[in-house]
Structure 1
Amino acid sequence: MNARLSLPALAVLLAAPLLLGLVLPQAQAQFWTVNILGRSLVYGIVALSLTFLATYGGFVSLAQMTVAGIAGYGVAILVEGAVPGIVGGLPYGLAVPAGLLAATLAGLLIGAVAVRTRDIYLLMITLALAMAVSRLAESNIDWFNGYEGIRNVVGPTLFGVPFRQPHLFYYASLAAAALLYAGVLYLVRTPFGLVLQAIRDNPRRAAALGYDVALHRIAAFGVAGFIAGCGGVLTTIYNIGISPGSIGLGASVNILIISVIGGLGHPAGAFVGSLIFAVFDTFAASLYDRDRFNTLIGLVFLGIVLVSPDGIVGLVRRIPGLRRLPRPRPDAAPRAAGTG
């Protein structure tokens, strides 16, 4: 699948986030970089893991926010300074890799459990796994501090500057998002990525050629687990902690909504959808009613899906000059609902 953007579109996508924090007045820059763009980047990374699975693997997992939460909990449990200090004592330089490793292993485990399921069964089994982890975190006091969760996960201090300093956090999140996005585009052109797409299109033919279908699918879940883990660490620092509510059913569905709004046909859709979601969530009180945010985002979701089933990416693809965004295969949308 060709995933190239036209040069003008690529220049805009790269320049706008880099310059926004510099050209806006200080008060506005802090609001937009923290509440809007920073939030959309960290949750967009989690959505990127789902978009990767759906676009190139042909299956949708509802457990990606749970995998992100496993990384977040891993860091919160191990790092020094968290409240309550369940294990503590480790610097962020060791706690973060441990959290990412836990998320990658969780992705592999979920892939091994769900890899042979299809369509609605895949959705249900990943949803069941997500709910099981959320309930475990909510009921376990010793390791997860139950319903209250773990607080004061503020990130390291880099060159004497706290990681949650607005500009530092924003540009660090932007760098992580750019690297992961570029990594996905590179990976899908490697032999592994090409075989994964062949399995998505015709698993029987790929198996007949000698490729291990199940192993490639499990590996794809592992890659998605690492991506989600990166987002999970950043969201935990962004929220200054983690609790069962941040990885429960609502959070899992939000990641799915973000991915569908942006478009499951291209990895960029994860960040586009996350930006739209963050804007509506932030300004819901002014636009409609803060207590009816779910109604508002539901109407936006239905409107976008009705106008463009492949999300905002599908609309962008129809704009002259941006048509080098890939066109989905005729059967891409049905396959995104289950396995290939």
Structure 2
Amino acid sequence: MTRIGQIPPAWLGLAALMLLFPVPANEFFLVQIGGYSLVLGTISLSLMILAGYGGMVSLAQLTAAGLAAYTIPILGNNTQDVMGLGFGWWLTIPIALIVGGVFSALVGLIAVRTSGIYMIMITLAVAVSVFFFTRQNYGLFNGFTGFAGIGAPELFGIDMRAPLPFYYLCLTVAGSLFCATVYLSRSPFGLSLQAVRDNPRRVAALGYSVVFVRIYAFFLAGIVAAAGGILLVILNGRISPGTIGVDVAIDILVIAVVGGLRHPLGPFIGALAFVLLESFAIDLIDRERFNTVIGAAFLAVVLFSPDGILGLWGKLRKRIGAETAMPRSGSLSSIQREEVS
């Protein structure tokens, strides 16, 4: 286990910054910037687990989050007079997590025997199929309208949809899943998943089931995505097919790639950049051209830093470190001084 003394100081500083963020922030920044970034970052984290550690790019992670979100009004309460079985949050949340994990595992069962563009196309086909099914099914998903009037949970009498509680709820969930992902990367399963990514034949020769490792990774990633979907339905109080549309699924991929797929922090950085652009870029450009801005930013990051924003930061640190280590002009290094003496 990682001790407090082994945690990088930058992580501790970031954690303190996130905890103190509500002090200067108003309600808009708390919910629409801070909370929403954490929600999108959590869903993108599920993609990072698959793509970063497993080398598997899935466009169905938002679909897993959406089905978990649909589970809440179906088993709980809504104002659409469709389903709404009246179960409490203590029961609907665990079931929603299981639904997201099982769905993702089923997607993995279909897709893990492929790779590259074929896996992307299979998971995209699943996402499109679920999108149209939810839009056309009125008995279970209430069709195009979806569900509205979904009440927020209460904890010790506190409304978790209120700006401050919601932000800290998102921070708690995102922080816990971030730490769990870091632990996963160093666990025996995480190491085996990364080994499967690098050389599946050698892993199979050692006696491991490559298919099982990949499917289990899909299951874990589905639970992470489901947690983000639950936060999303708490935030909006509604869920509809538009929430799990293909365009939004591609946004999740963009967020993960822009932030960086090689570290669990990357999806959250990418989500923050995406939300800031979405919130403030429309003041400078037309709403219809927002996707053009996102696409241009995506291409710029991919061209200059395949590792995303975190990769740019890493290159900057190395450059600063190299310049600091270089001897100053007019001075001699220790080796040069020895040669002169």
TM over 0.5: yes
Q: Distance in 2 between matches of 1:307 and 1:141?
A: 47
Which residue of the partner structure matches residue 60 of structure 2? 63
- Aligned ranges for residues 1-340 of structure 1 at < 5 Å? 7-22=8-23, 24=24, 28-320=25-317
- The 2-side partners of 1:300 and 1:119 are apart by 23
- Single out whichever of 10-19 and 52-61 deviates more from structure 2: 10-19
Instruction: Judge conservation of contact 1:46–1:232 (CA < 8 Å) in 2.
Output: yes
Shift of 1:73: 0.6
Task: Note the C-alpha offset of 1:287.
Answer: 2.7
Show structure 1 runs of 5+ residues with no match.
325-340
| Equivalent residue number for residue 334 of structure 1 | none
TM-score computed with the length of structure 2 as normaliser? 0.89
Q: Look up the match of 1:332.
A: none
Distance 1:125 1:312 in 2: 28
CA contact (8 A) 2:69 2:229 kept: yes
In the TM superposition, what whole-angstrom CA distance separates every residue of 1:267-291 from its partner, at most 9, and x where no partner exists? 1110000000000001122232223
Check 1:57–1:96 CA distance in 2 against 1; reply closer, same or farther (3 A cut).
same
8 Å CA contact 1:316, 1:322 repeated in 2: no
**1:121, 1:185 → 2: CA distance?**
28
What is the letter of the counterpart of residue 145 of structure 2?
E
Aligned-residue sequence identity (percent) comes to: 46
Unaligned runs of 5+ in 2: 322-341
In 2: Cα distance, 1:81 partner to 1:266 partner = 38
Size of the aligned set, in residue pairs, is 317
CA distance in 1, matches of 2:81, 2:56: 38
**CA shift in 2, pair 1:18/1:127, >3 Å:** same
Please give the alpha-carbon distance, in whole angstroms, between the structure 1 residues aligned to 2:298 and 2:200: 32
Deviations 1:133-159 (A, max 9, x none): 110000001110100111122321122
**What do residues 151-174 of structure 1 show as CA deviations (whole Å, max 9, x unaligned)?**
122321122221100000000100
Instruction: State the 1:8 CA deviation.
Output: 3.1
C-alpha separation between the residues in 2 aligned to 1:77 and 1:199? 38
Question: 1: CA distance between counterparts of 2:45 and 2:319?
Answer: 21
- Tell me which residue corresponds to 1:333: none
Deviation of 1:85 (Å):
4.3
- Could you tell me how far 1:92 is from its partner in structure 2? 0.9
Sort the Cα spacing of 1:306 and 1:6 in 2 relative to 1 into closer, same or farther, 3 A: farther
> SS at 1:84's partner residue?
coil
How far apart, in 1, do the equivalents of 2:94 and 2:149 lie?
19
Whose relative contact order is higher, 1 or 2, with alpha carbons under 8 Å and at least 6 apart? 1
Displaced runs of 4+ in structure 1, greater than 4 A?
Answer: 321-324
Question: What is the alpha-carbon distance in structure 2 between the residues aligned to residue 84 and residue 179 of structure 1?
Answer: 35
Q: Is the contact between residue 5 and residue 322 of structure 1 (CA under 8 Å) also seen in structure 2?
A: no
Is the 1:155–1:237 contact (alpha carbons within 8 Å) kept by the matching residues of 2? yes
RMSD: 1.9
Report the Cα offset of residue 29 of structure 1: 2.0
Larger radius of gyration: 2
CA–CA separation in structure 2 for the residues paired with 1:310 and 1:143: 41
SS at match of 1:147: coil
| Superposed displacement of residue 175, structure 1 | 0.5
